[in-house]
Structures are given as structure tokens and as C-alpha cells.
Structure 1
Amino acid sequence: MENTEGISHTGLHAGSFSASDETRAAAEAARRRVRAMSATLPLPLPSHPTLPRHESVAGPTVRLALKTDGSSRGLLDGAWWPRSRDLLVELPALTEVLDPLWGRITRIAVNPMHWPVIPRQAPVAGHIVKVGWFTPELDPHKLLLLSYRTGRWDLLVIPPETGAETAARLMAAASDPAGPLLTASALIAADETREEDEARKYEGSASAMSAMSAMSAAVPQQPAPPAPPSP
């Protein structure tokens, strides 16, 4: 899956947007200024792996993890775990949290593969955010955000139906500055492969234990030795 570092913002589909050269140049300079933020999760998370230690600044309605200030940017700036695929419901809460961190978010783009309805705009406290879409340049599991004259950010979008343990791993991986340089879809695929490998190992262990039990049951019991005759 290709990354979107060199996405052309021309020729976008209905409801999409274009970005000026000035904005894109400013984005390059701003990518090192990403601020830290925690993921506030309503479900109990496993003890391992844990989410990055960030100061909690989000309410319970936003589940988000971002890279820290000065960290290596890589291909993603963090991860977002929405509760649904309803952009009109999910985007206002997300942008309201990000505005004071990154500057006012003015434009958002998604790949339409996993979003059933894409509105042209989303109302946020005090302003309107324009929403667009384009494909195939934009990773289906990524959200692209632009802040006017400030920068551009890319978030992994964790599917809403994902379990808490899997979401914790993905959020930690996407917000880890020392993590592998993987695209959003590659991170999702790598975690799915990990879960499949663990399932196969578990099934193999269970089968081996079942076979050993069957073999033990098939071995005839040896009769006890006769008791010595009484004197």
C-alpha cells in the first residue's frame, strides 16, 4: 500500500478539496511539532501492551493516541478509534479535541472504502470543517487532516468494531516514534496476521494435548502385583 506523502490534491471527487502549495510547504515544517495526547478508552485495557504514557486531555468520547513533540514522524502521527462509521457524529468530537493541539482543523479527507456516507462538511464548535474523499491515493485505513497554514497530519483509523486489546496494540504501534515505518493498512494487516498466528498456535497446542490424552487412555492399565503370601 502506498503512503500519501506525495498525494496530489488535484482532480479530487465530489465533496473533496484541494490544498495550496503554501499549505503543503507549511505542512512539511509543522510535522515535527505534533503534540502529545492520550487515548481515553471506555473499556479496560490489557496489562500488555499498554498505551503510550501521555497526559490525558481528551474526554471519554474521543479515543486517540498521538506521537509526542519532537518525535520522528514516520508515516503516521497517531491512531484514532471511532465508535462508528458515521462521520457526522465522529468528526466533530475529534476535531474539537485536535483544534487546540494542532491549530484549527479546516479540511479532512478519507478513502470512501470504509465510510458509507461522506458529508461535504462537518460542524465543529465555532467553525465548519470541509470533508472530502479520494482514491486510490489515500490509504483506506487512514484519515488525513489539514490545519490552515499550520500542517498536515495522518491518523490510523482503527475499525470501530475492533476489540480493546487489539485497539491498544494498534494505538501503541501508530503512536510509537521508534515503531516500524508501516502504512495504516500494513499495521492493520500485521496485527491480523499476529492474531491468526496466535490462534493457530493455540489450536496446535490444544490438538497436541488432546492427542496425548487419547494415547494415555488407550494404554492398558497394568495389573497390580500380587500381595506376598502370609507367613
Structure 2
Amino acid sequence: MTATLAPMLSARLSLTPKTTLAGLLDGAWWPLSRDLTAELPALVDALDERYGRITRVMVNPTHWPAVPHEVPATGHTVHVGWFTEQDPDKMILLSYTVGRCDLLVIPPETEPAAAARLMTAAAIPGGVLTAGALMSDETATGLRMRDARSSKDAWETDGGSAPPPLRHPVVGARMIMQPGKPRR
């Protein structure tokens, strides 16, 4: 009897291009779930070619229901630590060869369009925004986009009529005269 292993899913990952511009983040990772034991092996394998063997991972436990001490990866074990002082939207990965890789962690339930924006923003060479700032900006962008959609929906549902004009207060008792019009 032979055991068949389930194929490992590839990591949804966006990394900064190799450049001399150092930024606060090295990219973004969008896991499929909040299960580190299930998600880390694919991430570690995806980073192996560029960063070498990842040996340690540090997370803030805020977004992870369980933080295991160790996670088996291809050919080795990854040690996992948690720190409440660390940005909850960031993961730090350490390797023997390259050193450190800081990734924005995009929540699994994030809509694809928002995740794409975040993955692009986190992979900008020389980026100066922290993981928390990127997530806050995306929340604000998402709210603006929802407001814009609701305005369009209102336009469609009320027959395409324009909103009523804004009332402007009269400044003093003066009226602006148009050239060539007599004053009454």
C-alpha cells in the first residue's frame, strides 16, 4: 500500500523585485486560511529559492487562532515564535543565508481586488509604508469605493436624477452683477 500525499498548494505571494532599494516590506502573502500549520509549508517552499532555507518565523498571535512552536516544511522544521509587540499584519521570516524577509499578511477573507492592491503596494521597491499602514489605507480605499458604488446605485435606483443643488448662503446683502445687466 502506498500513501498518496495531497499536492501542496502554491503560496499566493508577491515579492519586491531584486533591487538596491530597501523598503520596510519585502512583499505580501495572502494565505488561504488562518491555520499556520497548513499554510507555512507552501510559503516557506516558495521563498526557498530567493531567501534560502527559512528556519524561523515570527508572528503576532492576534490574527492566528493557534501558533504552533514548530511546523514541518520540505526537508526541515520551521520554528515559530509569537510577539505581541510585532505589527499584527506582518510576518518576519529568517533564513541562514539571506537573513530576513518581512511580509505583509493579507487576511484570507480579503476580497481579490483588495488583495491585489495590497500585494502590489507591499512589493514596491523602497516602500516606506508599514504593514499596518497599508492595511489602514486599504480599509479607507475600500470604504471610498463602497461609497462611490452606493452613489452609483442611488443614481440607478432613483431614475438617474441628479441630486438636488447645494444651497449657498448669501454673503451680506450684495448680489454679484453680470456685466451689461442693469441694476434694479
TM-score, L = length of structure 1: 0.62
C-alpha displacement of 1:104:
0.9
Shift of the 132–206 alpha-carbon distance from structure 1 to 2, 3 Å rule, reads: same
2:47 is aligned with 1:98? yes
**In 1, Cα distance between the equivalents of 2:22 and 2:77?**
27
Q: Which amino acid aligns with 1:97?
A: A
C-alpha displacement of 1:128:
0.7
**In 2, Cα distance between the equivalents of 1:87 and 1:157?**
12
Aligned to 1:165: 113
C-alpha displacement of 1:208:
5.0
Q: Which amino acid aligns with 1:177?
A: P
CA deviation string 1:17-39 (max 9, x = no partner): xxxxxxxxxxxxxxxxxxxxxxx
Q: Which secondary structure state, in structure 1, belongs to the residue aligned with residue 91 of structure 2?
A: strand
Query: Aligned runs of 1:1-231 on 2, under 5 Å?
Result: 61-136=10-85, 138-177=86-125, 179=127, 181-208=128-155, 210=158, 213=161
TM-score, L = length of structure 2: 0.77
C-alpha displacement of 1:143:
0.6
C-alpha displacement of 1:96:
1.4
Q: Which amino acid aligns with 1:164?
A: P
CA deviation string 1:104-124 (max 9, x = no partner): 111000000000000001111
Q: Which amino acid aligns with 2:26?
A: D
Gaps in structure 2 of 5+ consecutive residues: 1-7, 164-184
C-alpha displacement of 1:165:
1.0
C-alpha displacement of 1:167:
0.9
Q: Which amino acid aligns with 1:172?
A: T
C-alpha displacement of 1:102:
0.6
Sequence identity percentage: 50
Shift of the 207–110 alpha-carbon distance from structure 1 to 2, 3 Å rule, reads: same
